[in-house]
Amino acid sequence: MKIISYNVNGIRAALKKGLIDWIDSTDADVVCFQETKAQPEQIDNSIFEDLGYNYCYWYSAEKKGYSSVGIISRIEPNHIEYGTGIDYMDKEGRNLRADFDDVSIMSLYLPSGTNDARLDYKFSYMDDFKSYIEELKQKIPQLVICGDYNICHEAIDIHDPVRLKTVSGFLPAERKWLSSFLDETGFVDSFRKLNEDVIQYSWWSYRANARANNKGWRLDYLLVANEIEERISKSVILPEAKHSDHCPVMLELK
Catalytic residues: 148
Report yes or no: 59 and 48 within 8 Å, Cβ to Cβ.
no
Any alpha helices (H) in 58-186, and if so which ranges? 87-90, 116-139, 172-185
**CA 54 distance to own-chain centroid:** 21
Burial of 25 (0-12, 13-18, 19+ CB in 10 A): exposed
Order of strands across the sheet with 55-59?
55-59, 69-73, 30-34, 2-7, 249-253, 232-237
Report yes or no: 92 and 61 within 8 Å, Cβ to Cβ.
yes
* Contacts of residue 99, Cβ cutoff 8 Å, sequence gap at least 6: 77, 78, 79, 80, 81, 140
H/E element, 69? strand 69-73
Pairing assessment for the beta strands 104-109 and 143-148 based on DSSP bridges: parallel
- What is the Cα–Cα distance from 132 to 168, expressed in whole angstroms? 23
